[in-house]
């Protein structure tokens, strides 16, 4: 007879909870068989995944290395120090906080350290590609602070003149750059000089291209920008989570106390550990090959879709993101997303600049190359995937989306997935 503790530690999920185990198996098949083009999604290395089956999730800590409130913390202290040190080396920063549970919470901690309720924040509006945590009315950031925004010009590029005008008119405490659907590099020096004129702090949220910055494939916000936030699960290929880095120690201390005890309690030790592992991978010279393939695959998808006659916001991309403008095709983003999924290609509907559709309908599709590049794909596969998406969308726009989809495309997508497996 097994004791209750033995049962607790030994019985497998399939036995204790077949319902959840069944859903996990189905999710496994879905991921193996589909081609993932949703921009924030990515895979972790085998090394990162080992963290989650280790015993580190059972560590519980509060505070920071050297300033904990529990015993038994020597190993997690060592790990968190490594994570912080690697984060600083990745971006040339002086200070790093690796504890935010998500990108949104990283931003929230920055606001909590710099702003008082009612202060003015200048950020990019959502339909131009901004992020909801940058002042959307239904997010805490939009409820507690006064958000004013800048957008993109007719070609989809950031309108720096408008940014400067807004800064001079509203004198914000904080200017935010970066977004969730802006496909181009940002002129950080120009933003810093506008901020200086109005005495504002600057935050660059580089969630969608932080891996490319580390690899030197995208310009770095430092030394121009005061504070940089990013998620760690996009092209840094780590666990879901957030990171804050800055170059000023004093600002760093304020950020630390804003994260804990400001907006979070204890951090997640397994997340910090997996962050340390993925940061180590990103610092390895081999990471450059990955980042180059991310960029090459995104550019090839954009070119193929443009050649197939689709509008690409800004005409191309400098990042993993491609934003397809569906206006004039008779398709909306939600319909295109659903039809592509029937072909094994996952994407997401997205607002495009000047969009008049609702956020849950939209006139655009956002595609990202971070996950396919992790699977080993590059420019060649990006081009073919762009062509396949073009074929599917063209057909949807001419013949409607009834039926099971194009069998030839479905077959080719399955082949792609099989040729580039995700679990060794």
Ligand X SMILES: *Cc1c(COP(=O)(O)O)cnc(C)c1O
Q: To the nearest whole angstrom, how small is the minimum distance from the Cβ of residue 229 to ligand X?
A: 7
Of 45 and 102, nearer to ligand X (C-beta) is: 102
231 binds ligand X (CB under 6 A): yes
Cis peptide before 223 (omega within 30 of 0): yes
For residue 374, give the nearest of 275, 234, 229, 239 by alpha carbon.
Answer: 234
Region of 139-147, 204-212, 281-289, 386-394 interacting with ligand X (CB under 6 A): 204-212
Whether 271 contacts 120, CB under 8 Å: no
Check if the beta carbon of residue 368 is closer than 8 Å to that of residue 298: yes
Applying CB under 6 A, does 337 fall inside the site for ligand X? no
Measured in whole angstroms, the distance separating CA 81 from the mean position of its chain's CA atoms is 24
**Candidate list 86, 208, 237, 247; residue touching ligand X; CB under 6 A:** 208
d(CA 142, CA 133): 8
Minimum separation from the CB atom of position 244 to ligand X (A) = 12
Provide, rounded to whole angstroms, the least separation between the CB of residue 123 and ligand X: 10
Backbone angles phi, psi at 244, to 5 degrees: -125, 130
Contact letters for ligand X, residues 146-185 (x by CB under 6 A): --------------------------------xxx-----
**At closest approach, how far in Å is the CB of 309 from ligand X?**
29
| Interaction of residue 40 with ligand X, rule CB under 6 A | yes
Looking at the Cβ atoms of 263 and 308, the one nearer to ligand X is 263
Binding-site size for ligand X (CB under 6 A) equals: 13
Is the CB of residue 54 less than 8 Å from the CB of residue 75?
A: no
Of 73 and 90, CB closest to ligand X: 90
* C-alpha span between 1 and 338 (Å, rounded): 51
Among 59, 123, 133, 273, binds ligand X (CB under 6 A): 133
Q: Which of residues 44-63 bind ligand X (CB under 6 A)?
A: none
CB of residue 129 vs ligand X: minimum separation in angstroms? 9
Minimal CB distance residue for ligand X: 103
In sequence order, what DSSP letters do the residues of 74-99 get, joined into one string?
HHHHHHHHHHHHHHHHHHT-SEEE--
CA 218, chain centre distance (Å): 15
Work out how close the CB of 38 gets to ligand X at its nearest, in angstroms, rounded to a whole number: 11
- Identify the H or E element spanning 345: strand 345-346
Under rule CB under 6 A, residue 104 binds ligand X:
yes
Tell me: does residue 275 bind ligand X (CB under 6 A): no
Residue 110 vs 276, nearer CB to ligand X = 110
Residues 72-101 that bind ligand X (CB under 6 A): none
Q: DSSP for 184-227?
A: S---HHHHHHHHHHHT-EEEEE-TTTHHHHHTTSS---TTT-SE
Q: What six digits make up the tokens of 273?
A: 């550990």
- Token pair for residue 75? 């190993």
Nearest CB to ligand X, comparing residues 179 and 390: 179
Report how far Cα 359 is from the mean position of its chain's Cα atoms.
Answer: 19
Report the candidate in 387, 394, 391, 388 with the shortest Cα–Cα distance to residue 329.
394
For tokens 């599709």, what's the residue? Answer: 365
Single out the residue of 34, 207, 337, 363 in contact with ligand X (rule: CB under 6 A): 207
CB of 225 to ligand X, least distance (A): 14
Which residues contact ligand X (rule: CB under 6 A)?
40, 102-104, 131, 133, 178-180, 205, 207-208, 231
């Amino acid at each position: 007879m097994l004791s209750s503790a033995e049962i607790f530690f030994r019985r497998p999920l399939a036995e204790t909870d077949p319902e959840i185990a069944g859903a996990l198996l189905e999710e496994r098949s879905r991921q193996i068989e589909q081609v993932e083009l949703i921009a924030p999604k990515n895979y972790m290395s085998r090394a990162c995944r080992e963290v989650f089956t280790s015993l580190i999730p059972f560590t519980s800590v509060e505070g920071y290395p050297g300033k904990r409130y529990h015993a038994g913390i020597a190993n997690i202290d060592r790990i968190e120090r490594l994570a912080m040190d690697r984060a600083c080396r990745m971006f040339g920063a002086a200070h790093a906080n690796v504890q935010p549970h998500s990108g949104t919470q990283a931003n929230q901690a920055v606001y909590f350290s710099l702003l008082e309720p009612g202060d003015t924040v200048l950020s990019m509006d959502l339909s131009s590609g901004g992020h909801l945590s940058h002042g959307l009315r239904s997010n805490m950031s939009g409820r507690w602070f006064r958000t004013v925004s800048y957008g993109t010009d007719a070609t989809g590029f950031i309108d720096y003149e408008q940014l400067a005008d807004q800064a001079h008119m509203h004198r914000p405490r904080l200017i935010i750059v970066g977004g969730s659907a802006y496909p181009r590099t940002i002129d950080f020096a120009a933003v810093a000089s506008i901020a200086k004129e109005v005495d504002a702090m600057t935050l660059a949220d580089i969630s969608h291209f932080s891996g490319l910055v580390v690899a030197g494939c995208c310009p770095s916000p430092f030394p121009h920008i005061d504070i940089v936030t990013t998620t760690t699960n996009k092209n840094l290929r780590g666990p879901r989570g957030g990171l804050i880095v800055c170059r000023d120690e004093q600002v760093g201390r304020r950020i630390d106390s804003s994260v804990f005890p400001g907006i979070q309690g204890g951090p997640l030790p397994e997340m910090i550990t997996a962050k340390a592992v993925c940061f180590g991978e990103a610092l390895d010279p081999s990471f450059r090959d990955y980042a180059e393939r991310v960029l090459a695959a995104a550019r090839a998808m954009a070119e193929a879709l443009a050649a197939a006659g689709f509008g690409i916001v800004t005409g191309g991309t400098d990042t993993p993101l491609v934003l397809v403008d569906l206006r004039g095709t008779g398709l909306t983003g939600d319909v295109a997303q659903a039809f592509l999924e029937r072909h094994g290609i996952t994407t997401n509907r997205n607002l495009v600049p000047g969009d008049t559709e609702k956020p849950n309908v939209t006139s655009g599709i956002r595609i990202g190359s971070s996950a396919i590049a992790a699977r080993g794909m590059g420019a060649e596969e990006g081009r073919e995937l762009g062509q396949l998406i073009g074929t599917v969308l063209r057909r949807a726009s001419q013949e409607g989306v009834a039926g099971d989809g194009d069998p030839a495309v479905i077959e080719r997508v399955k082949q792609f997935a099989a040729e580039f497996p995700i679990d060794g």
